[in-house]
Amino acid sequence: PEKLVIGRFGQFAHGTRFVTSSANHDMSGFSTFPFTNFMLSPETTREEIAAMFTTPGSKGDTIIGNDVWTGMEAVIMPGVTIGDGAIIAARSVVVADVPAYTIMGGNPAKPLKQRFDDATIAALAEIRWWDWPTAMIESRLDAIRSADIEQLKRAAG
């Protein structure tokens, strides 16, 4: 019932996994075993099947921003939002939202460093190069690949 929304220009290394809320088990009772999964019959309705995937405490949609890079075997837990330009280190477990242009690592993942200063991050959020037409991106790759925000601003102009 929840969504996994992935922005443009994402890079997902081998083994990256996204866990959605409906993969979790109901923890409100004494047992977490999914008994109802094994009680399906030809008479089971669509609504009853949908209810099986509704667990208390659902975290909702998982949102991955634009130009996000996840390292090998990173795990993204339900309901997390990862901001544009973020980097997730290999084998990290992301359990909370990740600010734009932040490098996260560990289990649970913690901020390791911000990639750019606040003014540059604000400018990148305004420029949104990933929304440009393909031909414009291709003709301005030098500016996009650089770390010169003034060059990128001129390219956006």
Q: Which residues of 51-66 are buried (b: 16+ CB within 10 A; e: fewer)?
A: ebbebeebbebbbbbb
Give the active site residue among 3, 17, 25, 113.
25
To the query of whether residue 25 is one of the catalytic residues in this protein, the response is yes
Active site residues: 25
